Amino acid sequence: MKAIIPVAGAGTKLRPHTYTQPKALIPLAGKTILSIIIDQLEEAGITEFVFVIGYLGEKIQHYVQKKYPHLTCHFVQQNVREGTGHAILLTKNVVGDDEILIVLGDTICEGNIRELIASPVSQLGLKKVDDPRSFGVAELNDAGDIMRVVEKPQIPKSNLALVGIYKIKETDQLYDCLERNMTEHRRSHDEFQLTDALQCMIEHGVQFTPFKVSNWFDCGRKETLLETNAILLSKYKVPANPILPYENAIIIPPVSIGEGCNIKNSIIGPNVAIGDNTVINYSIVKDSIIGSYSNLYEVVLKSSLIGSDANIRGLSQSLNIGDNTEIDLG
């Protein structure tokens, strides 16, 4: 089995951070979104990965090759972003006739991945949501099988959302449906959707059953990213260094602090992730993500997302600023 992870998107909802780094490499609970996904799949026994890259794709490739040299990794370029269906179709020659596990690169799902891999039939990850109109939606028949999937319906007939993890046994039929949709210019919301290809497979007799996801974290927006960061910090229980090299600082867990950080006269936490080599002095930071090589002086931050190489001075409350930024509020 091969895992396919599409990470070619521009991450427009997370700008300005995604101007300088791919969404999948944004820090989260002491890791990155992408490393959390890869670690989860590797732990379940997958050793071969196909990454669909595009926007800032060289950074994805460098990161994966450096961090995971022991894995077999393929990189497929999506030069024109025409949707997830188009992205998956580009992997056809690499995948061959292997079974595949598709995991979207901006969502983190928790469930029994080994059980999903071992399933005798194709499965789609589902989770009940309050408002499914922003997602692909699945409808079940009386036997509990998936009988229909629709991408972002205006009037949903179900509250079961597709959460971005798909186990496909019939890969040849998937690629046939993807090619048919491309040839017939069958788009939904101006893109070639994976959901439409799955519906094509269902119409041609392929059985899909639900894969129950215990938790699902959307990392595509600032608000949901900070919420996910807080949940995962508590879940991972990042150990606090018993000999904290921080002068006159109070650390309120859960907190993840990178290597080489210099923190003085500050209160950090709870729910804070800080990248490597960041300097913080006379500041209070809570419920925030701070990138690497940043400098914070006399600031009060809450629910903030700060990129790398940022320099902030003066009082503030909630910020969303990207890399290489300097702000003096004094």
Model pLDDT, residue 134: 79
Model pLDDT, residue 250: 92
Cα angle 219, 128, 168 (rounded to 5 degrees) comes to 75
d(CA 228, CA 33): 10
Model pLDDT, residue 242: 46
- Write out the chain's pLDDT in tens, 330 residues: 999 999 876 555 555 555 556 777 777 888 888 999 999 999 999 999 999 998 788 888 999 999 999 999 999 998 887 888 999 999 999 998 899 999 998 888 889 999 999 999 999 999 988 888 878 899 999 999 999 999 888 888 888 999 989 999 999 999 999 999 888 877 776 778 899 999 999 999 999 999 989 888 877 677 788 888 899 998 876 554 444 578 899 999 999 998 889 999 999 989 999 988 899 999 999 999 888 888 999 999 998 888 788 888 886 665 555 555 555 555
**Helix and strand element counts for the chain (H, E):** 8, 27
* Interstrand relation of 146-151 and 136-140 (parallel, antiparallel or unpaired): antiparallel
Model pLDDT, residue 129: 86
Model pLDDT, residue 327: 53
Model pLDDT, residue 117: 95
* Domains of the chain, earliest start first: 2-223 (3.90.550.10), 239-328 (2.160.10.10)
**CB 136 within 8 Å of CB 149:** yes
